[in-house]
Chain A
Amino acid sequence: GENVEQHPSTLSVQEGDSAVIKCTYSDSASNYFPWYKQELGKGPQLIIDIRSNVGEKKDQRIAVTLNKTAKHFSLHITETQPEDSAVYFCAASAGYSTLTFGKGTMLLVSP
């Protein structure tokens, strides 16, 4: 089955800096890669996703890049703000199959 590795497990940045979280996947059939933000005590919120037919997608301060050859994808957050502090999960899915999640990255943005 699919295996998703996520790094780093924790990331501390200063407000205004950029943050990058990286994930690798094992199943070459995976074609959908979402990123979720989870705040304490709440459910995950989809913040951006990318499909295998594109290499990059951007939404304001958030961008995701995908390298299918290397089987890795990354989340980029620019101009970080304290409210970006949360746990971020990457996931991968093939076709209509279930999502396989990474272990999560706790992002702390210090003012």
Chain B
Amino acid sequence: GAVVSQHPSRVICKSGTSVKIECRSLDFQATTMFWYRQFPKQSLMLMATSNEGSKATYEQGVEKDKFLINHASLTLSTLTVTSAHPEDSSFYICSAGTGSNEQYFGPGTRLTVT
């Protein structure tokens, strides 16, 4: 149980374009979803927290107009990186919470901006 999927697993896009990453909880309803990014050999950095049907809460220093988060249902959240630049290249990971502290992570999406 508690399976979270992400799509795509890898994406390469050109600078200036936008890319959308989907995060789904497959066997449970997630009251809260979280988006993280992770640089090589570093820990996870929380970008934003989203609850179904409401606006996401962004961490300090994360541009909400650049990283658009939509949490349309209890099983789906999307992250759109707008006008991507090479410095946005990273490993993006989502997690889903069940209402308590526990978070279950997706497999991650490797974004490369050329």
Contact = CB atoms under 8 A, between A and B. Distances in A.
Interface of A: 31-32, 34, 36, 41-46, 49, 89, 93, 95-99, 101-104
Contacts, number: 49
Interface of B: 4, 6, 34, 42-44, 46, 49, 93, 99-108, 110
Nearest to B103: A99
Given A34-B102, A97-B101, A98-B34, 20 more contacts: A32-B100, A32-B101, A34-B101, A41-B110, A42-B107, A42-B108, A43-B6, A43-B106, A44-B93, A44-B105, A46-B103, A49-B102, A89-B43, A93-B101, A96-B99, A96-B100, A98-B46, A99-B101, A99-B103, A101-B44
Contacts of B34: 98
| Residue of A43, A46, A49, A99 contacting most chain B CB atoms (<10 Å) | A43
Contacts of A44: 44, 93, 105
B101 A89 contact: no
Contacts of B101: 31-32, 34, 93, 95-97, 99
29 contacts: A31-B101, A32-B100, A32-B101, A36-B105, A41-B108, A41-B110, A42-B108, A43-B4, A43-B6, A43-B105, A43-B106, A43-B107, A44-B44, A44-B93, A44-B105, A45-B105, A46-B104, A89-B43, A89-B44, A93-B101, A96-B99, A96-B100, A97-B101, A98-B34, A99-B101, A99-B103, A101-B43, A102-B43, A104-B42
Nearest to B99: A96
Contact of B93 (A43, A98, A99, A104): A43
A17 B10 CA distance: 36
Given A43-B93, A98-B49, A104 B43 contact: yes
A43 B93 CA distance: 7
